[in-house]
Amino acid sequence: GLTETMDKVKGFEMGAVDYLTRPFQHEEVLARVNAHLTIRKCQQQLQEQNVLLEEQNERFRKLSEATFEGILIHDQGLILEGNQALEEMFGYQRSELIGKNAVEFLTPEFHDIALERIRTKDETPYEAEGLRKDVSIFPLEIQAKTMPYYGRAVRVVAIRDLTWRKTMEAEKARLQQE
């Protein structure tokens, strides 16, 4: 009920979220209470949405780590995120992948194809050759899709190591020739 500015400031400094002085104006009190109820309801909704968002993020992390495919997210080729399978496939730690151009992990003859796919946002799968940290080359299949990520459109890429499949195809062809 104190009306001096210093009293009001002291009240706010002690944690008050509002300050009423006497004599009370009925309409003002109701308006302030309604405003605070609305703010509280919005805070509760925001907290609930944050919990749901964290649960969705955790689900996404678990799914991306459970897959056998290398998954990376890039913006115009610049790698923003990658999963464990990607690390294992190429032989790099995640910290070494983040910030690099995704095209660098392909053999040079596939750079132009990959850049064209990025430019046109092509979503059809294609085969290329990957370049591991130890400079060994392996066959892979790449498929990308444009998706929203933190408010911008990025490409989510699935990379499949085709080494086993190519080995089996070669073995099948050898056996058919025999």
Q: What is the pLDDT of residues 100-140, one digit of tens each?
A: 999 999 999 999 999 999 999 999 999 999 999 999 999 99
- Which range is least confidently modeled, 26-30, 122-126, 137-141, 158-162? 26-30
Contact 133, 90 (CB under 8 A): yes
- Quote the pLDDT of residue 22: 80
- Quote the pLDDT of residue 80: 96
Query: Which two structure tokens, joined as six digits, stand for 29?
Result: 């009190």
Contact 71, 83 (CB under 8 A): yes
- Quote the pLDDT of residue 131: 97
- Its pTM stands at 0.69
- Quote the pLDDT of residue 1: 56
Contact 80, 149 (CB under 8 A): yes
Contact 155, 143 (CB under 8 A): no
Looking at per-residue pLDDT, the higher value among 87 and 21 belongs to: 87
Q: Residue 82: which of 95, 72, 68, 92 has the closest Cα?
A: 72
Query: Which two structure tokens, joined as six digits, stand for 104?
Result: 């660098």
For residue range 61-74, what is the model confidence (pLDDT) as tens digits?
A: 888 788 899 999 99
Phi, psi dihedral angles at 12 (to 5 degrees): -65, -40
Cα 94 to Cα 7: distance, rounded to the nearest angstrom:
55
Query: Which two structure tokens, joined as six digits, stand for 143?
Result: 């498929």
Contact 91, 134 (CB under 8 A): yes
Cα 90 to Cα 95: distance, rounded to the nearest angstrom:
13
- Quote the pLDDT of residue 63: 81
- In the chain, what percentage of residues exceed pLDDT 90? 78
- Quote the pLDDT of residue 93: 96
- Quote the pLDDT of residue 36: 93
In sign, the C-alpha dihedral spanning 81, 85, 87, 93 is positive
Cα 88 to Cα 122: distance, rounded to the nearest angstrom:
26
Looking at per-residue pLDDT, the higher value among 2 and 32 belongs to: 32
- Quote the pLDDT of residue 56: 87
